[in-house]
């Protein structure tokens, strides 16, 4: 049975900025309280790993992941990488040397495929593909390059920017191999990743998200 619940981190409804969720893990800042961590574990069925990324709490901005691997900027601290690697079994961790660092904002992935920003070079896209273990396509969504910030995908569905057209939906669906739909979070925010983290078991949604938005999210991500 899927779970869908409202949440805030550090008094903010922008929970997606602070965490990354896969089918097995949630990466969160060390400062996140025990009750918040327990809710992620209980509702999404994940093991919580506590670490900053680049010495900051905005884990969701700098880290992108699926069940097979994680992509971090090459500026991530050695102790952060070791903390993640030692806590995970059979997960590849890539420190990507690139002129861009906000991996979470630039990569939209599930376990079937990934859409990455055209700001990545072809070689960097190949490295991401190898680490995540999925085919990678360099593309924009709704004309924007920061595809990771305007979409959330699981292995059951994808939710993307509310202004996306039929071609955007087709690209997302074709690459990620799931149905895709549009929506918002937190009372009209189109950058859905800022207020939403999800896996195949459910989703944590920013506390300002309305009832109709929750219905749209549940439908898009196929959460019962």
> How deeply is 55 buried, as exposed, middle or buried, from its count of CB atoms within 10 A (0-12, 13-18, 19+)?
exposed
Query: What is the pLDDT, as a whole number, of residue 90?
Result: 84
- 């690139």: which residue's tokens? 98
Decide if pLDDT at 103 tops 60. yes
Percent share of the chain, pLDDT over 70? 99
pLDDT class of 150 with cuts at 50, 70, 90: very high
Q: Which residues make beta-bridge pairs with 182?
A: 160
The string of pLDDT tens digits covering residues 23-42 is: 999 999 999 999 999 999 99
Decide if pLDDT at 20 tops 80. yes
Query: What is the pLDDT, as a whole number, of residue 1?
Result: 44
Mean pLDDT of 129-146: 98
Decide if pLDDT at 77 tops 60. yes
Query: What is the pLDDT, as a whole number, of residue 88?
Result: 87
Domains of the chain, residue spans? 3-220
Mean pLDDT of 125-135: 98
Mean pLDDT of 137-153: 98
The string of pLDDT tens digits covering residues 160-172 is: 999 999 999 999 9
Mean pLDDT of 126-140: 98
Cβ-defined contacts of 88-94 (< 8 Å, 24+) = 88/24, 88/25, 88/49, 91/25, 91/67, 92/68, 92/130, 92/131, 92/132, 92/133, 93/69, 93/131, 94/69, 94/70, 94/127, 94/128, 94/130, 94/131
Indicate the fold that domain 3-220 takes in CATH. Answer: 3.75.10
What average pLDDT does the chain have?
Answer: 97
Q: Which residues make beta-bridge pairs with 76?
A: none
Q: What phi and psi values does residue 178 have, to the nearest 5 degrees? A: -140, 160
């Amino acid at each position: 049975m899927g779970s869908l619940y409202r949440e805030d981190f550090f008094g903010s409804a922008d929970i997606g900025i602070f965490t990354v969720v896969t089918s097995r893990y949630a990466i969160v800042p060390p400062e996140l309280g025990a009750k918040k961590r327990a809710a992620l574990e209980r509702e999404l069925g994940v093991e919580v790993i506590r670490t900053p990324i680049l010495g900051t709490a905005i884990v969701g901005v700098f880290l992108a992941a699926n069940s097979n691997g994680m992509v971090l900027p090459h500026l991530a601290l050695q102790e952060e990488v070791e903390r993640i690697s030692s806590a995970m079994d059979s997960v590849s961790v890539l420190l990507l040397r690139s002129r861009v660092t906000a991996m979470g904002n630039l990569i939209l992935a599930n376990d079937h495929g990934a859409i990455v920003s055209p700001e990545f070079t072809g070689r960097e896209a190949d490295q991401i593909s190898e680490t995540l273990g999925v085919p990678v396509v360099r593309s924009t969504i709704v004309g924007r390059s920061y595809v990771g910030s305007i979409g959330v995908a699981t292995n059951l569905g994808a939710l993307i920017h509310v202004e996306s057209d039929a071609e955007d939906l087709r690209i997302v669906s074709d690459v990620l191999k799931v149905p895709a739909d549009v929506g918002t979070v937190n009372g009209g925010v189109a950058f859905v990743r800022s207020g939403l983290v999800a896996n195949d078991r459910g989703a944590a949604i920013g506390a300002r998200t309305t009832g109709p938005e929750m219905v749209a999210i549940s439908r898009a991500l196929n959460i019962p």
